[in-house]
């Protein structure tokens, strides 16, 4: 167990000067862990400002936190993801692009191979967007509140352990490119659609209302359009983001949470699954949304798709590249 933590800290030291994923590093974490626990000795990263109860639950499963990850600082508008008090948190696949936010550092810590699991909080897509743009799995759990806790992983089998799921079955799925209102780039849609093939999704003419006004007003609750979808299928599939990761100067007028934040208002669990890479070599995510409390269907989708989608070797080990 100490070896796993030492390896994580060594990897952190190697990439942190470039990627800036950590707000604080715990150099002497407690290694007094019961070896019978499901995550015994696993080094993890924890999102700065996250609920202590989530961190404590993972420690109770045997995890060893090695640091707090970066988020945008308080002086930065939410659109300019990836800035924090220590400088830019950079996307490992292209240093000139953002990793997404606000759980930026957690996504980078997993994508760059520092830790196998990191925590996040998703209030509009703050786990799923950086997961998509960093090429990792990002799960948000069912919640009665707009913000939900979750995790980033590279190995989808860890999700089953995290959730205490012992059995999964192949879920049925439907597909919507844009939920009826979002402007999605053709390449993002095409790559996500191809990745979804193992689930054999059925396209549906979904026309939800843009949730922007409800999100800014904090109006959470049932969504009749989504309720109708889940009467006929276990999963709703979409691209995770409408476009690729933007530069560090921000996204401009584009709302990159367009495909994610409706499910924060409705409380449905959702996951971003690595779908492949675009023509610029940047990761693309496939989003799966499930019925309340049916995270097992998300894990099933992640396992099935991860076995079929072939992506470039990672984490990126050779010099991180610029555009």
β-strand 117-122 against 87-88: which pairing, if any? unpaired
H/E segment holding residue 163: helix 157-163
Tell me if 113 sits within 8 A of 315, measured CB to CB.
yes
Share of the chain above pLDDT 70, in %: 92
pLDDT tens for each residue of 156-210: 999 999 999 999 999 999 999 999 999 999 999 999 999 999 999 999 999 999 9
The reply to whether 144 belongs to the active site is no
pTM of the model: 0.95
The domains found in the chain, sorted by start residue, are 2-160 (3.90.1300.10), 173-306 (no CATH)
Is the separation of the CB atoms in 37 and 162 below 8 Å?
Answer: no
Q: Which residues of 6-18 are buried (b: 16+ CB within 10 A; e: fewer)?
A: eebbebbeebbee
Active site residue 321: no
The answer to whether residue 126 is catalytic is yes
Q: What pLDDT, in 10s, does the model give residues 23-43?
A: 999 998 888 899 999 999 999
Task: Tell me which of 112, 126, 143, 306 is the catalytic residue.
Answer: 126
Q: Is 139 helix (H, G, I), strand (E, B) or coil?
A: strand
Among 47, 103, 143, 176, the active-site one is 47
CB 300 within 8 A of CB 175: no
Residue in 234, 248, 238 with CA at minimum distance from that of residue 272: 238
């Amino acid at each position: 167990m100490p070896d796993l933590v030492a390896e994580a800290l060594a990897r952190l030291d190697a990439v942190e000067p470039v990627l800036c994923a950590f707000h604080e590093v715990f150099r002497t974490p407690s290694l007094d862990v019961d070896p019978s626990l499901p995550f015994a000795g696993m080094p993890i990263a924890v999102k700065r400002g996250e609920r202590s109860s989530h961190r404590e639950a993972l420690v109770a499963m045997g995890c060893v936190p090695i640091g707090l990850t970066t988020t945008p600082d308080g002086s930065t508008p939410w659109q300019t993801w990836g800035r924090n008090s220590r400088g830019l948190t950079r996307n490992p696949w292209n240093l000139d692009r953002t990793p997404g936010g606000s759980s930026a550092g957690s996504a980078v810590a997993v994508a760059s191979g520092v830790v196998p699991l990191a925590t996040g909080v998703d209030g509009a897509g703050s786990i799923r967007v950086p997961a998509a743009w960093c090429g990792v799995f990002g799960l948000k759990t069912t919640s009665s509140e707009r913000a939900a806790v979750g995790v980033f992983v590279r190995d989808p089998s860890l999700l089953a352990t995290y959730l205490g799921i012992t059995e999964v079955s192949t879920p049925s799925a439907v597909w919507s490119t844009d939920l009826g209102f979002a402007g999605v780039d053709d390449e993002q849609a095409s790559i996500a659609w191809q990745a979804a093939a193992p689930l054999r999704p059925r396209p549906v003419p979904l026309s939800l209302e843009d949730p922007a006004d409800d999100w800014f007003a904090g109006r959470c609750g049932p969504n009749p359009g989504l309720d109708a979808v889940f009467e006929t299928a276990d999963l709703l599939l979409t691209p995770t983001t409408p476009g690729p990761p933007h530069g560090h100067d921000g996204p401009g007028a584009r709302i990159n949470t367009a495909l994610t934040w409706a499910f924060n208002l409705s409380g449905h669990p959702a996951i971003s699954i690595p779908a492949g890479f675009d023509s610029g070599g940047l990761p693309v995510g496939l989003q799966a949304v499930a019925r309340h409390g049916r995270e097992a269907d998300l894990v099933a989708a992640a396992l099935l798709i991860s076995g079929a989608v072939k992506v470039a070797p990672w984490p990126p080990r050779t010099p991180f590249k610029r555009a």
